[in-house]
Structure 1
Amino acid sequence: MAVADIAAVRRTKALQERAENRTLTRLTIGPSPWARAGALIALAVIAVAWLVPIVWGAITSFKHESEAALPAQLMPATGWTVEAYQKVLGASDLPLWMWNSLVVAVLVTALTVLISAMAAFAFSQTLFRGRAFMQWLTLAAIMMPGQILIVPLFREMQLLGLVDTFAGIVLPQVVAPVMVFILKRFFDAIPSELLDAARIDGAGPWRLFWTIVLPLSRSILVAVAIFVFIGAWNNFLWPFIITTDPQFMTLPVGLSTVKDAYGVQYAQNMASAMIAALPLLVVFMLFQRRIVQGVATTGMGGQ
């Protein structure tokens, strides 16, 4: 009986989600079937335009190098081959660069989510002197281009002796003012009655943060973590500036050195790109629902 009740609850929840999706669709596109058909056609065209370069790159990676540079020829005429993948994996430090990227992305993600969540909780649920000024300072940091800070950040890492270290790659990336405001917006929506009841029971700020706010914010924390992980994995500029030792290079930086050293090798370049994109593809396939929820929560979808 309990199993049947759980199944009924799940079915009810699924029906509610479908009804909400239909309502959101009507509010976004309009009630007209022509509007919905036009939106679906536009989305299909955008999806095809987005997929064509990926399909072309994947097919090129399985061509022979002499055939990959031929213009206006999509399918391989001499057959499929994994030669490009064998050369990329055997002639470069690609596995090491992938491991470095994974370590850097995981560390950046964990530290960014932790620091941003604590800052957002302080802005949202606590009162302290200078709170408004700190919020305006965080907002100013959002509007400041990151390239302006490259020189002072490099000098700082140089003075601390963190050039060609994982710490030098990770630490400047953990400050994410955008994520602070995203999490603050979510924390503002937590019912104040829960926090007030916990305060009456004697809970302090740390207990409120760890036992109430964070468990209630799993969805937004996962969404923020996914976006931070993708950004850290794809980041090229800062790792390129702070690293010169191949042992500490991340995947985007390492691939750029391979291109410069061996010239333009189209099949090998496409094979490298496919290998580099594979972890992100896995992340997207596993967490695509969370990614969509994150876009809706942090963007125009509202929460």
Structure 2
Amino acid sequence: MSATATTVRTRRRPPRETAGAPLLLGHGRLPRVLAGAALAVLAALWLVPFLWAIVTSAQSEKDVSTPGLSPFKGAFTLDAYQRILERGNVSVWAFNSFLIAALVTLITVVVSTLAAYGFSRGTFRGRRALLAVTVAAIMIPPQLLVVPLFEQMLLFNLVDTYAAVILPQVVAPMMVFILKRFFDGIPKELEEAARIDGAREFRVFRSIVLPLSRPIVAAVAIFVFIGAWNNFMWPFIVTNDPDLMTLPVGLATVKDAYGIQYAQSMASALLAALPLIVFFLLFQRRIVNSVATTGLGGS
């Protein structure tokens, strides 16, 4: 018998990616350079408007109004910041923003986690219909709810109170749905083992589900806090008392009688964004990890 020689062609496989490795265009030095260059360009595009706002706010209104494309048109001055701080009660507005955002975040996380756990593990009648209503509520624009919500605040005599600003913001159907989807992925065997040991439902939720859900809960809390801090429309509508205004609303009321003041507008925007920038710098690792592990970046 004649043996026929067979040649086996082996294809070169790329090395297997390790867990936690950065997403690149390929393997080798060239893809890394291309990825770094693309990230640098995107970072520059994001930073240019921010730097332009800083430069504009640090000039006088006369220099800013001078025709020309260059942002550097005059000497450095903090006159715009001084005028805003003199005309408005920035410290009170900042305290109101922090208090409201913190309470909205706390109540939203508590309500959303309990509701999501009920949808994920509950067997009550009407669960699917109620979940469908919750998902459908995600598609309702918040602007459509302004008038009925304001009428409710008038009915309960809550206008110009902290409760009027906080309560309508704690209803977050999107966060309930995200948490519910995460709870669905937790193995039920862990909960059943706890129930066999005598744990009640709330103990199972507090001791088993919540510790395993720290990344998603942290991500939800971060996004809710940022949304509550930046919320302008609802606090602007429901508050008239300057002592109850949030920072974005209060800074918007600081107007000049001589038309648009570009330096002051940029200074107001930077003052409103400064606490969030500090918040991100302090908790940037937690924010990035929460977004990466929960997949909320594209939601």
Instruction: Tell me what 1:74 maps to.
Output: 71
Write the distance in 1 (CA, Å) between the matches of 2:99 and 2:210. 24
CA distance in 2, matches of 1:83, 1:253: 21
- Count of residues paired in the alignment: 281
Q: Are residue 94 (structure 1) and residue 90 (structure 2) matched?
A: yes
- Cα distance change of structure 1 residues 32 and 136 upon mapping to structure 2, 3 Å threshold: farther
User: Could you tell me which amino acid in structure 2 is paired with residue 137 of structure 1?
Assistant: V
Deviation at 1:169, TM superposition (A): 0.5
User: Quick check: 1:182–1:298 contact (8 Å CA) kept in 2?
Assistant: no
Among 277, 286, 292, the residue aligned to 1:290: 286
> 1:222-266: per-residue Cα shift (whole Å, max 9, x none)?
111111010000011111111122121111211222137663222
* Counterpart-to-counterpart distance in 1, 2:200 and 2:278: 40
Answering whether residue 110 of structure 2 is matched by residue 124 of structure 1, we say no
Match of 1:25 among 18, 23, 26: 23
Q: Counterparts of 2:93 and 2:238 in 1: how far apart (Å)? A: 15
Q: What SS does the corresponding residue of 2:23 show, helix, strand or coil? A: helix
TM-score (norm 2): 0.86
Q: Are 2:265 and 1:269 equivalent residues in the alignment? A: yes
RMSD of aligned residue pairs (Cα, Å)? 2.2
Gaps of 5+ in 1: 1-17
Alignment of 1:116-265 (within 5 A): 116-259=112-255, 263-265=259-261
Q: How far apart, in 2, do the equivalents of 1:273 and 1:147 lie?
A: 23
Deviates more, 1:37-46 or 1:268-277: 37-46
Distance of 2:99 and 2:51 partners within structure 1? 29
- Residue number in structure 1 paired with 2:4: none
Cα 1:232–1:34 change in 2 (3 A) is same
Q: Distance in 1 between matches of 2:93 and 2:203?
A: 39
Distance 1:253 1:120, change over 3 A: same
In the TM superposition, what whole-angstrom CA distance separates every residue of 1:46-93 from its partner, at most 9, and x where no partner exists? Answer: 211111011111112221232122232322533x22222222112212
Q: Hey, what's the Cα distance between the residues in 1 that align with 2:208 and 2:170?
A: 24
> Which of 36, 45, 51 in structure 1 is aligned with 2:41?
45
CA distance in 1, matches of 2:210, 2:226: 22
Shift of 1:40: 3.2
Tell which deviates more after alignment, 126-135 or 162-171: 126-135
Check 1:262–1:95 CA distance in 2 against 1; reply closer, same or farther (3 A cut): farther
Structure 2: runs of 5 or more not aligned: 1-16
| 1:143-164 C-alpha deviation (Å, 9 max, x unpaired) | 1111111111111111011111
